[in-house]
């Protein structure tokens, strides 16, 4: 079921700003921090799973499918490393991490409305998994859109320490002048967001 209630409630539930925008800044909320309570190991694992699932804006079925894919991996990566790589390389997440969208929800909406071309082909599926060498480009008819002009101005202002803007990742090359995103490499452990405790998530699903 699609979540349609206030998103700040999710942030308060998990105790962090899940969407990294000023709108959901918990320090401005009178109901934060939450009262402390006794916790079990299962409860802690569950909360870490819910935090990551809500941060990537995925359903339980989608999130579990990424764990199963990672579990079947036979390469040198551990299950938790593979799972994070799969999540990071989602099409909507790459757009968000590049700064072309202010939140993952917005990035997903852009993809669903076919705002981007992937390797020259129009795409509208947010869950597409990208790989090194893939190129995303804003479609020509949207390059003069006031929305993207505003977003690009924010990107250029990032150097002035705007803490609410996600920086350009090392594994993504952002060509602001040509409105292109190029995936340079597979993300490494250093590129993952630190508040995600993927090991506890793997432990939760491995029971």
Homologous superfamily of domain range 7-87+194-205: Ribosomal protein S4/S9, N-terminal domain (1.10.1050.10)
Q: How many CB atoms lie within 10 A of CB 29?
A: 12
Peptide bond preceding 98: is omega within 30 degrees of 0, i.e. cis?
no
- The upper half-sphere exposure of residue 67, i.e. CA atoms within 13 Å in the direction of its Cβ, equals 20
The model's pLDDT over 175-203, given as tens digits with 9 standing for 90+, comes to 877 888 999 998 887 878 778 888 888 88
129's tokens: 């998994």
The model's pLDDT over 28-47, given as tens digits with 9 standing for 90+, comes to 555 545 555 567 888 888 88
Q: Does domain 91-185 have CATH number 3.10.290.10?
A: yes
pLDDT(166) > 50:
no
Q: Confidence band (pLDDT; 50, 70, 90) for 92? A: very high
Q: What is the 3-state secondary structure (H, E, C) of 5-27?
A: CCHHHHHHHHCCCCCCCHHHCHH
Integer Cα distance of 52 and 84 in angstroms: 10
Q: How many CB atoms lie within 10 A of CB 12?
A: 18
- The residue that leads in pLDDT, 151 or 27, is 151
Helices (H), the chain: 7-14, 41-55, 60-71, 79-88, 91-98, 104-112, 146-156, 198-205
| Averaged pLDDT for residues 125-152 | 88
Q: Which pLDDT value is given to residue 115?
A: 94
Q: What's the predicted TM-score (pTM) here? A: 0.78
The model's pLDDT over 39-79, given as tens digits with 9 standing for 90+, comes to 788 888 888 888 888 888 889 999 999 999 988 876 767 88
Counting every residue written for the chain, the total comes to: 207
Contact 29, 6 (CB under 8 A): no
Contact 48, 204 (CB under 8 A): yes
Domain residue spans of the chain: 7-87+194-205, 91-185
- The residue that leads in pLDDT, 157 or 183, is 183
| Averaged pLDDT for residues 156-183 | 69
pLDDT(24) > 60:
no
Question: Would you say the CATH fold of 91-185 matches that of 7-87+194-205?
Answer: no
Integer Cα distance of 103 and 97 in angstroms: 9
- The residue that leads in pLDDT, 207 or 140, is 140
Sheet with 135-138: strands ordered across: 121-122, 116-118, 135-138, 180-183, 172-175
Mean pLDDT of the chain: 80
Q: Which pLDDT value is given to residue 163?
A: 45
Q: Which pLDDT value is given to residue 195?
A: 80
**60 Cβ contact partners less than 8 Å away, ≥ 6 residues apart:** 53
């Amino acid at each position: 079921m699609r979540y349609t209630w206030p998103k700040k409630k999710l942030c308060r539930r998990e105790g962090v700003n899940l969407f990294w925008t000023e709108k959901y800044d918990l320090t401005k909320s009178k109901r934060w921090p939450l009262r402390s309570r006794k916790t079990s190991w299962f409860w802690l694992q569950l909360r870490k799973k819910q935090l990551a699932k809500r941060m990537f804006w995925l359903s339980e079925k989608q999130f579990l499918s990424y764990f199963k894919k990672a579990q079947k991996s036979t390469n040198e990566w551990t299950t938790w490393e593979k799972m994070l790589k799969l999540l990071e390389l989602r099409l909507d997440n790459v757009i968000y991490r590049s700064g072309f969208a202010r939140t993952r929800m917005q990035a997903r909406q852009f993809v669903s409305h076919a705002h981007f071309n992937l390797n020259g082909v129009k795409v509208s599926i947010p869950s597409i998994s990208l790989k090194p060498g893939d190129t995303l480009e804003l479609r020509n008819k949207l390059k003069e859109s006031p929305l993207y002009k505003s977003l690009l101005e924010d990107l250029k202002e990032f150097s002035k320490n705007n803490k609410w803007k996600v920086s350009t990742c090392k594994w993504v090359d952002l060509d602001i002048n040509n409105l292109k995103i190029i995936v340079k490499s597979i993300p490494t452990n250093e590129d993952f967001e630190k508040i995600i405790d993927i090991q506890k998530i793997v432990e939760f699903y491995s029971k």
